[in-house]
Structure 1
């Protein structure tokens, strides 16, 4: 998404409430300007010269101030109308100048603050201000010759009186138009920044919603992976034991009893692990005391023992000097072994040998699970078991190899880096 530049951004039009305020404000300024005209006529202070007739004075006063009613709806048109009528009123020596001057100030300010087209509003303001200074120069050129000789009889400064009056008028107008331009720019920049803050807040809200959605999806994947690791392994073992029990139930009750005992123990282990997993997933709730710590490398022996109970000649070899592993790494190693053994029990036909090896290397720990069976179906790289192992290994920046061996059977090998804080083996 492209973000518009400051000159490309267009400020939205006024709200209905702001339009009502402009209506009331414009009418109020017009009434005050008529009142100011009455006071000026009462004092006889006609600074611009002999005034026109009374109706014409009222006309110019209303023509300069009343367009403020539309100042935020049509800022460019309002500024041009007020500027043109202001010059015309002064050319006609309209006596009311105070409220008329403030109306011109408000028009230039509004064009800077509310002009929808930034470049156009800037050019119009500069054009209006330049026209006003040109009119000031014309006014000085026309009136300087008609100044009476005794107009500055009390002047005592070092600067010539006429020059001092002209410079003073120019300075006042520079401040007048400069503030109108500056305040308009400031108001527009404030509105632009508020718009940017609103956009960023909306983007933040959307990103937070997306993050929450990703978190929910990640939590679902984690729950599915945990359920698969916990349930699939133990149910597979129980299925193998139940099948063995069925075969020997009539001719060898002792073996059948042993198989049933193994099924009972496996079921209890599965329930304990499910209880532990659900306790971890209950965010913010207290986990019961009977829920033990998550299984780690210490539980690999139990997995191998269950494989033996299922009829496999399973062996476990530990190589190297064992070092304490982070809990997450230890659990990931355990889950990889558990899933690999589960796959042997479920998918390997004719498997009789299972070899599990745990190697403690320099800065790494490696687990290697091999069997001599034949897969009942082609391996599915998108299966939940392989995906779960891959995710666990990738989470710890490790590597995973899973595939058939050259001499037959299947191999799963995972290697996990051990953080530097863990002591290296001697």
Structure 2
């Protein structure tokens, strides 16, 4: 039992959100506040006039205009109920007490009861501090209940005097006066507690709407961030593509141009062949750059129309590796290409995106051999294992050279290879061999490669 008190306090504190620092704010007086106050004023005047015409105020000594003034003093205060909720609640509670003492028949009219209810309701619904709102509302509730209890005590005394005088007629279990006062007490408890709980419900609803609005704004910001990140990723992808394409072909052009210059006078046919290779490589560079630029230009159109073409040119893949390796052969560098399959035609079934990564990895590795290595031979081996426990495809580029003095690298090529392979959950190995030369190996899983 000792734990019931703290547990109940904890539940009430959680329900009334006493530790919540969210500020609903008190908006300035708006048109809706004036309209609501005027509507209550008109309704109050009409109902008071009907009650006065029915003889409800025969025992009220005040003039009729005082009754209407009392009504207006309560109704017009509702105009400020959102702007100054706690002050209006205290004012209307004092209004209720004074009117109840001076003119109880007027205080009990429905229009004034609505005003008092809205005052207490607004304190909980619009109070900026939960603790302050709960303190003011609780104080008003305690004061009003004490007032009703005092009336009950007075009613019991009146009943005792009536019993002494002989007027002891009863119609039920309780004497008439205490029964009336007790009924009034219960009605007031429901009335005041209902106003407080209703105001808290309104506040919690506003709190939930604010939280949902904040979540929507957060989601919108995250969406923008994700879109910007997607754009950055796309730009990085295009940058890697341009690096691979341009760097690869320019290195080939440089090697072929150097060879053509050396044999231009001694062996014109060999020089012509080198120049032809330069022309072919230049055309390939321009074609692939146009493809990438076309991808950038068509990016917005592809978002609107998913059926639009992906690029202006076919994406290179595994089928183009043999031609790529052969194009790197020169009088200084011998190249070879081998395909190892555990099933016939396995290489042709490699997914397009995986094939592009293998192609770009091989392209970058061969370009580095031409630019930065003294190698005289290089080999490219493609392995496709569909029957393995974890199916994979692997490309391995080996050379027999050492780093060429006077050359340097930015490291962007290796970084691009690692990022491409990582995007397919693959593994990559780049570095010098134990004996001599350099090795680039990339292995990509085939299971779920299309996901």
State the TM-score, normalized to the length of structure 1.
0.85
Does the 8 A contact of 1:65 with 1:82 survive in 2?
Answer: no
Which of 163, 185, 206 is the aligned partner of 2:221?
206
TM-align CA RMSD = 3.2
Q: Secondary structure at the match of 1:101?
A: helix
The residue number in structure 2 matching 1:387 is 415
Structure 1 unmatched ranges of 5 or more: none
1:128 aligns to 2:145 (yes or no): no
- 1:172-211 superposed matches below 5 A: 172-211=187-226
**Of residues 354, 361, 383 in structure 1, which corresponds to 2:378?**
354
Q: Structure 1 residues 201-210 or 364-373, which shifts more?
A: 364-373
Match of 1:369 among 371, 391, 397: 397
Inter-partner Cα distance in structure 2 for 1:9 and 1:273: 57
Contact between 1:52 and 1:94, CA under 8 Å: does it hold in 2?
no
Q: Structure 1 residue 269: deviation in Å?
A: 2.8
Are residues 1:291 and 2:304 paired? no
Q: Does 1:270 align with 2:299?
A: no
Matched, 1:337 2:352: no
Aligned partners of 2:74 and 2:92 also within 8 Å: yes
Cα shift readout 1:73-107 (whole Å, capped 9, x = no counterpart): 11111111111221122112354222322211010
- Structure 1 residue 290, shift from structure 2 partner: 7.7
Q: Larger deviation: 315-324 or 252-261?
A: 315-324
Q: Secondary structure at the match of 1:239?
A: helix
Partner Cα separation in structure 1 for residue 140 and residue 29 of structure 2: 28
CA distance in 2, matches of 1:6, 1:187: 17
> Hey, what does 2:339 align to over in structure 1?
318
Range with bigger deviation, 231-240 or 356-365? 356-365
2:113 paired residue number: 101
Larger CA deviation: 368-377 vs 197-206: 368-377
CA spacing shift, 1:419–1:7, aligned 2, 3 Å? same
Q: Does 1:217 align with 2:232?
A: yes
The answer to whether the 8 A contact 1:26-1:67 is kept is: yes
TM-score (norm 2): 0.80
Q: Which runs of 5 or more structure 2 residues have no equivalent in the other structure?
A: 1-16, 303-307
1:73 aligns with 2:83: yes
Deviations 1:201-259 (A, max 9, x none): 11112111111211111111011111112222122212211221121111111111211
Cα-to-partner distance string for 1:289-335 (whole Å, 9 max, x where unaligned):
9833x212221111211111463111223335252322221221111
Structure 1: distance between partners of 2:127 and 2:338: 80
Deviation of 1:44 (Å):
4.2
Note if contact 2:294-2:311 (Cα within 8 Å) is conserved in structure 1. no
In the TM superposition, what is the alpha-carbon distance from 1:36 to its structure 2 partner? 5.1
Match of 2:446 among 415, 418, 422: 418
Describe the SS at the equivalent of 1:368.
Answer: strand
For the Cα contact (< 8 Å) 2:151–2:181, is it kept in 1? no
Distance 1:142 1:56, change over 3 A: farther
Counterpart contact for 2:333–2:378, Cα < 8 Å? yes
Shift of 1:169: 2.0
- SS of residue in 1 equivalent to 2:393: strand
C-alpha spacing 1:43/1:93, structure 2 compared with 1 (3 Å): same
Contact 1:357 1:368 in 2 (8 A): yes
Contact 2:361 2:417 in 1 (8 A): yes
Q: Which residue of structure 2 lines up, in the alignment, with residue 82 of structure 1?
A: 92
Structure 1 residues 243 and 274: CA distance shift in structure 2, 3 A: same
Query: 1:407 maps to which residue?
Result: 435
